[in-house]
Amino acid sequence: MEKKIVLLCLWLAACFFTGCQTYYYANEEFNSAFQRSDFGYCRKWLAKHKPRKRAKDKFLYYANSGMVNFLLNKEDSSNIFFEKSFLLAEDFQQKAGENVAALLTNPKRITYAGERHEQYLISYFKAINLLKLRQNETALIEARRLIRKMNVLEDQSKKNYRSDGFLLWMIGSIFEAAGEVNNAYIYYKKSQEAYEKNFGSLVQASVPQQLKEDLVRTAYLSGFETEGQMFETKLGIKNKPLNPDEGMAFLIWHKGPGPVKAENRIVFQLVKGAGGQVFFTNEEWGLNFPFFLPPGEANNPGRLDNLKIITMAWPKYTNRQTYFQTMSAQVNGKNLGFQKASSIEKIAAADLKDRMLKEMATSISRVAIKQAVQYAATRATEESIKSGKGDKDKKASQADLAGSLVNLAFTIANTATEVADTRNWQTLPAEIEVLKIPLPVGKHVVKLRASGKSGSNPEQTIELDIRPGQTTVYTVQTF
């Protein structure tokens, strides 16, 4: 029996080293190709690595497939994949069996349906594809789906990531592109309020100048002259109506590689409280979480509060280096700069922080169950050997040894399975900057110039086909 337990320990140790691999490094070949902008290779890689029917990370597979096709300007194919991710998130319901498995093993066994901001961005990218195809009415449907999802997932108790000012601005832009000026004004106003309240400080961006102009222009177009005048005074700008022979150019820069999740292990001290309460404390992080033991645990020597310290695995976001820092557009003899509108790096971290207490409760429950199972298995092994035939002293010695080995095996197993869920949508950009300008009807050659840390200034020349009263969208991605 002892030999079997030793072999179990070695196997569990091997599982520990393979189980610690993050989602990013598990897909390193794809991620490396993506960052060197080899999107054709990424598309082939995804075709060869289709998820199994019961795979837990289909959301990410479809989101990555949608993004790769988005960057290859295959808008229709891109939206097919994005729609699959959208439906998976819509239909997702955690099953009780999945929750139990996660508590006994690790959270990677639960189906991944996307973080809140990731679900929002699925609709954002779908809408951008449709605007690029000038399918404004269909883009409007996607905007309404995004509004509904934001209403469902928006929780006023969230302290860090609440109203997304950039996405509200995009919704307003879609309404305006579809000719619904009144609704456009409503969402431009909501966007401006969000930037001023908390979104601007979160993403470290002021209210974009183009948003101010959109807000004032649509206020007047909607017949709200008093409000238009009020915003002119408040924002320090004048109304700039579109002329009949003008259209709107909307350039969107998806800047840098987005954040990836890594594992962060935190050591907690356990402090006993009154009435079966245990406090998990970590002075370095300033954490102090109460946890109530189940009734009837007072006489259980293996109960949770007999531990002194405990290690828990948490997900954390790690930002990647962004090479190109600024971008300008040369059009009709003018050099115009892009303006920061959003930071997915900041949003992702805030979104994760908002559910930190939930993560903590799940981790504590997982540790409590593991500890109870470990104690029960150790005691059962010892009692089984002691109840057998033979010399009592010898059996007691064998029972102690077997109990120690079982305890060791469970310690290794618990360490191996105490891992953080490091899955996230890793093909998102780090930040989003925009340039929204009215241009005369016709074709315009625009030179885009990005500036890197080493002073390199690569140029890209594009052609915009501006149509009267319409919005022409163009996106660019750099790393």
The alpha carbon torsion through 77, 250, 115, 316 (nearest 10 deg) reads: 120
pLDDT of residue 376: 78
Q: Who has greater pLDDT, 315 or 45?
A: 45
Task: Report pTM.
Answer: 0.86
Name residues whose C-beta falls within 8 Å of residue 14's C-beta, 6 or more positions apart in sequence: none
Rounded Cα distance, 454 and 325, in Å: 10
Domain ranges of the chain: 262-316+359-417
Question: Which tens digits make up the pLDDT trace of 428-453?
Answer: 999 999 999 999 999 999 999 999 87
Cross-strand bridge partners of residue 343: 431
In one letter, which amino acid is 161? Y
What are the strands of the beta sheet with 339-343, ordered from one edge? 339-343, 429-440, 246-257, 471-478
Rounded percentage of the chain residues whose pLDDT exceeds 90: 60
Mean pLDDT of 392-418: 75
What is the Cα 275 distance to its own chain's centre? 39
Written as one string, the DSSP assignment of 419-454 is -------TTSEEEEEEEEEEEESEEEEEEEEEEETT
Contact 169, 341 (CB under 8 A): yes
Say if strands 246-257 and 260-272 run parallel, antiparallel, or are unpaired: unpaired
- Burial label, 332 (beta-carbon count in 10 A; 0-12, 13-18, 19+): exposed
Q: Residue 287 pairs with which residues in a beta bridge?
A: 282
Q: Where are the beta strands (DSSP E) in 108-186?
A: none
pLDDT at residue 356 in the model: 76
User: What is residue 17's predicted lDDT score, i.e. its pLDDT?
Assistant: 46
Rounded CA Rg of the chain: 28
Residue with tokens 């050659």: 445
Residues 192-209 pLDDT 10s = 999 999 999 999 999 999
Q: In what order do the strands lie in the sheet with 277-282?
A: 287-292, 277-282, 260-272, 309-318
Per-residue tokens: 198? 């908390």
Asked if residue 217 lies in contact with residue 439, where contact means CB atoms within 8 angstroms, the answer is no
Residue 46: which pLDDT band, with cuts at 50, 70 and 90?
very high
Q: Which tens digit of pLDDT belongs to each residue from 294-329?
A: 555 544 545 555 556 777 888 899 999 999 999 999
CB 435 within 8 A of CB 447: no
Structure tokens at 12: 């569990």
